Structures are given as C-alpha cells and as structure tokens.
Structure 1
Amino acid sequence: MNPSKLSLFFTLSLIFISQAYGASLFEGLCAATVEDSARCLQVLKADPEIASAKNDLQLCKLILKFGLKKATEAQNYLKDLAKTNPAPAIQECATIHYDGVVGSFKSALGELVDDSMTSNYDAKVAGDGPNTCNTALAKANINDPTITALNKEISLISTIAFLATNKLP
C-alpha cells in the first residue's frame, strides 16, 4: 500500500472509530438541521453538558433544559425591555408568546420519559412563540435586532429539540 493510501486509510479509520466511540451525539443532530448546522453547533456548544450526552434520552433532556433556560432568559429580557418600551407588541411577546414558549419547553421536559410523542410535539410548538412574536413586531413596525436574534435562537433550539425527541421510541 503506498503512503498516500495508507494515510487515507488511517484517517478514515480514525473517523469511524471516533464516530463509534465518543463522537458527540449533538454533532449528528446538528447535521440534521442542514442549513442551520453551523449555528446549531455554535448554540449547543454554549452548554458543555450537551456535548457529554451518552445517549439520545440524555441528549434530549439536556437540550430541553437548555431550551427552557434560554427561553426564560429571553422572556426576562423582553419583560425588562417592556418596562422601558411599553409598546403593545413587545408586551405581547414578553407575556403571551414567551409564556407559551416557556410552557412548551417545560411540558416537553416533563413528558420526555413517559410520552415521547407529546414531548416531541411540545418541543416543536415551542418554536411558535418566536414566530408569532416576530409577526407582532413586524405589524407594529418594530425592528429590534436583539429581539430578532433572540427569536431566531429560540426557534432554532425548538427545531433542535424537535429533531432530538423525534429520535426517541
């Protein structure tokens, strides 16, 4: 075997071994997000626990907890913003829409073990809040890049959680 073929064989062997032993589950999950895979990796790497998940159930639980944490942070940001900018659309996002997001992530987490189909549904529905928030802001002619970025992140986490819980039996 010539050196270049040997090097290629060695590299491929290492890739297969790393996939079989210890390659993070979330990297495969992020690949499933296709056009958002790079953002997915960036978002999930913010929580080092996610990278250490040993199985699909643990990965789902960590992603849903992460989603709940991020949704709660986003809602708190919006509530604080509503104090200084009491526009009805911002109030609506902070309360109605993000109450739904937080509730959906909580429900998905609570149902994860006993009813994975409901958990999967709730993970997907969590993405409705950011979308309806964006719609409310657009109707009110409010263009806030920070809110847009928050909504985009929460929507992506919802998609990731949906894909993760979809892998459960």
Structure 2
Amino acid sequence: MNSSAFSLLLFTLSLILFSHAPMATLGISLYESLCEEAKQDKGRCLEILTSDPRIVGAKNNLELCKLVLELGLKKGTEAQNLLKGEMKTNPSPAIKQCATTLYDGVVGSFKSSLGELKQDSLTANYDAKVAGDGPTTCDVAMANAKITNPSISALNKEILLISELAFLATEKLP
C-alpha cells in the first residue's frame, strides 16, 4: 500500500472514530447534549436536569433515560398532589379532571416508559411522549373553564418539558 493510500485510510478511520466518540469526551455531558436538543427550552432544561446530581453524572444514554423518567414520575406525582390540594379549594370540573384523569395518565405514562426501557425502547419512547398529553389537555381544560392559575400553568409547562426531554432521550436507545 503506498503512503498516500495509507494516509487516506488513516484519515478516514480517524474521522469515523471521532464521529462515534461519546459526547463526554468532546466536553459535552449527556444531559447538556439533551438540553441542546430542547432548543428554545435549553435554559429551563439545564435548570431542571441539574437539580438532580444523578442526572448530571449519567454515564450512558440508558442511565440518562432512566433518571429523566424517574424525575418525570416524581414531578408528575408532585403536580398531581398539588392539583388534588387545589381541588379542595376550587372544586371546578376542570381542576378535578386535571388532578385525576389527566395526571393519572401522566404518572402512568412515565411509569410505563420506565418499565419498558430495557425491553422495548420504541414503546418507552412513545410512553414518554404521551406523558405530555396530560399537561397539554389540562391547560386546555383550564382555559375553557376560564380559570387562570399561574402555579398550575407552570406545573403543566414543566411536566410537558420533562416529557419532551424523556422522549428525546429515549429516542437515542437502540
């Protein structure tokens, strides 16, 4: 093999290796890479994900997915509990729908996605995305009932973002 052919082969192999290098070796952590994909929500994404040091230290995509889904499950449950408390002071049908049916779906979707991570990544990906349906429908129900509650809107926005992050993360699984 002549030297120019060998140089070309070496160059090609180095490009292939570089393109398959883990993000961490390029100076970008897995969670930061995920937030880059969140585009306009990057700042809020970083804020949410850095609140859990385990997410910051995730070593691979599967671990990142698991931790983001666990965060979604935790935050979804907290949101549902807050909505149930709100239901006691404002027993409107819209808040009741959010607190029960819609957030039952959020919590159930995050749980289902977690359970499918290792066996069926496509279903895990789908369930992660579907978890965002609850907060979206809750916002619509609240608007239709002409209820303005900034804390519920903020919760819905946060859960919707976590659902999107879980969807983006699970999309990377084989």
TM superposition score normalised by structure 1: 0.88
Deviations 1:51-71, CA, capped at 9 Å, x for gaps = 010000000000000100000
**1:158 maps to which residue?**
163
Deviations 1:89-117, CA, capped at 9 Å, x for gaps = 00000001000000000000000000000
**1:70 maps to which residue?**
75
Q: Quote the Cα distance in structure 2 between the aligned partners of 1:24 and 1:75.
A: 31
Equivalent residue letter for 2:153: T
Q: Quote the Cα distance in structure 2 between the aligned partners of 1:86 and 1:46.
A: 32
Q: Is 2:52 the counterpart of 1:47?
A: yes
Q: Is 2:108 the counterpart of 1:119?
A: no
| C-alpha deviation, 1:23, in angstroms | 4.0
Q: Is 2:149 the counterpart of 1:144?
A: yes
The RMSD of aligned alpha carbons is 1.4
Equivalent residue letter for 2:106: V
The gaps in structure 2 that reach 5 residues or longer are 1-20
| C-alpha deviation, 1:48, in angstroms | 1.1
Amino-acid identity (%): 63
Q: Is 2:96 the counterpart of 1:91?
A: yes
Aligned match for 1:81, one of 77, 86, 90: 86
Equivalent residue letter for 1:53: A
Deviations 1:68-93, CA, capped at 9 Å, x for gaps = 00000000000011011101100000
SS at match of 1:77: helix
**1:26 maps to which residue?**
31
Equivalent residue letter for 1:114: Q
SS at match of 1:168: coil
Q: Quote the Cα distance in structure 1 between the aligned partners of 2:40 and 2:150.
A: 21
- How many corresponding residue pairs? 153
Q: Quote the Cα distance in structure 2 between the aligned partners of 1:50 and 1:100.
A: 24
Deviations 1:19-54, CA, capped at 9 Å, x for gaps = 407742100000001111111101111111100100
Equivalent residue letter for 1:44: L
Which of these two proteins has the greater Rg computed from alpha carbons? 2
SS at match of 1:72: helix
Equivalent residue letter for 1:94: A
Q: Is the 8 A contact 2:24 2:30 kept in 1?
A: no
**1:130 maps to which residue?**
135
Equivalent residue letter for 2:119: D
